[in-house]
Amino acid sequence: LSDDMGTLTKQRGKLIYSFFNADQIFDFLISIGMRPFVELSFMPSTLSTGNDTVFFYKGNVTPPQDYGQWATLIRKLVQHWVDRYGLAEVRRWSFEVWNEPNLDSFWEGSQEDYFKLYRYTVSAIKEIDPMLRVGGPATANNSWIADFVHFCEREGLPADFISTHHYPTDAFGEPDDDTEAQLAAAKRGILRQRAMDTRRHAGNRPLYYTEWNTSSNPFFHRHDEPYAAAFAMKCWLDVTDIVQGYSYWTFSDIFEENYFSSVPFHGGFGMLTIHGVAKPIYRAAELLHRAGHEKLVVDGLHNTVDCWASRDGNRIQLLCTNHALPQHPIEREHVQITLLGAPPPQQAYLERIDENHANPRRLWEEWGKPDYLSPLQVNELHDASRLVVESLQWRAGPEGTICEVDLPPHAVAALTLEFPSRP
């Protein structure tokens, strides 16, 4: 809704609505099979109470002069989407009100002002159709959840889901501390613990984390490294039984909040570089996408190694990580896994993410970290980013099939075993 989208302007005292630019984005998202999770922000300047902005594109962060005019904008926009894509489609979307209103840099108003904005927004959308999904408070650091739930229940307002954000660097150290020090002050598994706390406040409502990453620093080298893959894989699997959605921020380093870096590996938030090269974190998501939906029980404890098992028909996949936060002890580990009662597999293979596998940044560093790449170099980085399928050695043991894998520090390994029939 910011001015760069041209959604709302005023000419000769008359409000002019234009959803053309939004249509270009949403048409594309729908065409590739995506289901929008819509963040309703920031404030069109023509409705704003001030000039304070955030980010390179200058999103206005002030409350509206007239909440009724804000509601009219929301009503017209959502009705436009219903007319364009059909009510059945838009009912599958989620509408999140604002972004991190608990932070002064994103919302100049008070908590009470945000709750007022939510009231006007949810009422406008529900006027179109009561089945459209609206929620919030879209806060940073798991904040305001209990207050938001209490407000909605007291006022009789629907909250179809709870959304919030978190990072492992939240609330550690001082603002000027380096990111490594902030991460070192955190505890392993901290994001699972925070998600569990938030779940208690959210009750039975669906819970979505619509922003998280390995750190909140938009220029942090570990975002480009295998560290991020191991960290993210552990986090995804740690919270799968707690949340309904866990959205990594962001998909790509083509990212307009700060100045647009031309350096291929600049520590950006994305899973892909500006050239579309898959970082290790992207390959971790690819491995997770292939995992089966039937979760199997895993027994075993280790300070840095975790393992999850899933089954899909006659296939079992094991996802293993070796992860620790910066400045915490971590070593290369040899892991032995026994699949209790499993017969000999027909096929077994291994895919790795570590310093020497699916790690294109390492090749870029070997080239001397050039700021600009030739097309040939981009192709070589694509090749270096790919997962490589290796044969996995196994043996029959007294209790079932045994397989082993070496896990360097900050590594992910996917072990896939296929059997003649469902094991």
Residues annotated catalytic, as ranges: 100, 211
- Alpha carbon of residue 70 to chain centroid: 28
Cα-Cα-Cα-Cα dihedral of 112, 117, 118, 124, to 10°? 150
CA–CA separation, 388 and 374 (whole Å): 24
Buried b (16+ CB within 10 A) or exposed e, 28-62: eeeeeeeebbbbbbbbbbbbbeeebbbeeeebbbb
Phi, psi of 162 (to 5 degrees): -110, 135
How far, in Å, CA of 85 to CA of 129, rounded? 14
- H helices of 129-243, in order, are 145-155, 179-185, 190-202, 226-239
| Residue 129 three-state SS | coil
- Within 10 Å of residue 294's Cβ, how many Cβ atoms? 11
Query: Which DSSP category does 46 fall into?
Result: G
The answer to whether residues 412 and 229 touch, using CB atoms and an 8 Å cutoff, is: yes
| Dihedral pair phi/psi, residue 156, rounded to 5° | 70, 30
Residues 6+ apart with CB under 8 A from 357: 387, 388
Q: Are the beta carbons of 77 and 83 closer than 8 angstroms?
A: no
Beta-strand relationship, 207-212 and 161-166: parallel
Counts of helices then strands in the chain (DSSP H, E): 11, 19
And the tokens for 146?
A: 């209990």
* Runs of H (alpha helix) within 156-223: 179-185, 190-202
